[in-house]
Structure 1
Amino acid sequence: MRTGTSSPKASISHPYLTSHLCRSSGKPSQIYRMALSTNMAASLVLFSLLLLHFTQAEELMSIDGAPSPSPQAQPIDCGIACEGRCGLSKRPNLCKRSCGSCCKRCKCVPPGTSGNYEACPCYANLTTRKNARKCP
């Protein structure tokens, strides 16, 4: 606060008000108006991203609230998939039988003749009564 001056400009003593108000008219300065418009633009961007997120989530849900099937949920031919999986097996009939039951449950068979269980986690998680892997 200035002492000894009697001008009307010195009557505003609060630092926040002096930085954001024009000293001549007492109205918000251009900097203050730009900050408001920047905040408004940022709010609009965040709101539009939120709206986009909700519309995409709604598209993934069906009318009854259950997730809709993914585009990859096409029926698999378990016979052909298991023939490829069990092609190099020492016991192909046993392999095809267990692969077929796993395929019917999981609706997928990992690619290749062995391994690749990350492609079909359900197939990898099925076990026998003795906790051995059920699916070849």
Structure 2
Amino acid sequence: MLQATTITEAPAPQPQGSNNHTMNGITEGSLQPQECGPRCSTRCSNTQYKKPCLFFCQKCCAKCLCVPPGTYGNKQFCPCYNNWKTKRGGPKCP
């Protein structure tokens, strides 16, 4: 006696939710820890205060696994990076 075999299709991939911010292939939380150094070097390249900028950028990147593109602004692409504040309420991440 033959058994009937049923074939089920895999569900179609769903688009990612709108809470993932992407720019130039950068998604928040998508970096590997070893990628923080080069990204922070780029981020801090135009500042006079390179040492503190690099220190805090790398600290923020290690936590958020994201560094906003460019040398200034664009923090909307990394909400974790943008929302981390100092005790006084100022931005922790450059």
TM-score when normalising by structure 2: 0.67
Aligned position for 2:39 = 81
More strand by share: 2
1:75 is matched by which residue type in structure 2? Q
1:132 is matched by which residue type in structure 2? G
The runs of at least 4 consecutive aligned structure 1 residues that moved more than 2 Å come to 55-58
Q: Looking at CA atoms only, which structure, 1 or 2, has the larger radius of gyration?
A: 1
Deviations 1:19-67 (A, max 9, x none): xxxxxxxxxxxxxxxxxxxxxxxxxxxxxxxxx9xx3579x9xxxxxxx
More helix by share: 1
- Percent sequence identity is 38
TM-score when normalising by structure 1: 0.47
CA contact (8 A) 2:31 2:66 kept: no
Give me the whole-angstrom Cα distance separating, in 1, the residues matched to 2:80 and 2:70: 16
Structure 1 residue runs of 5 or longer lacking an equivalent are 1-51, 61-71
In the alignment of these two chains, the number of paired residues is: 72
Structure 2 residue runs of 5 or longer lacking an equivalent are 1-8, 17-26
Give me the whole-angstrom Cα distance separating, in 2, the residues matched to 1:119 and 1:101: 17
Greater relative contact order, per chain length (Cα 8 Å cut-off, separation 6+):
2
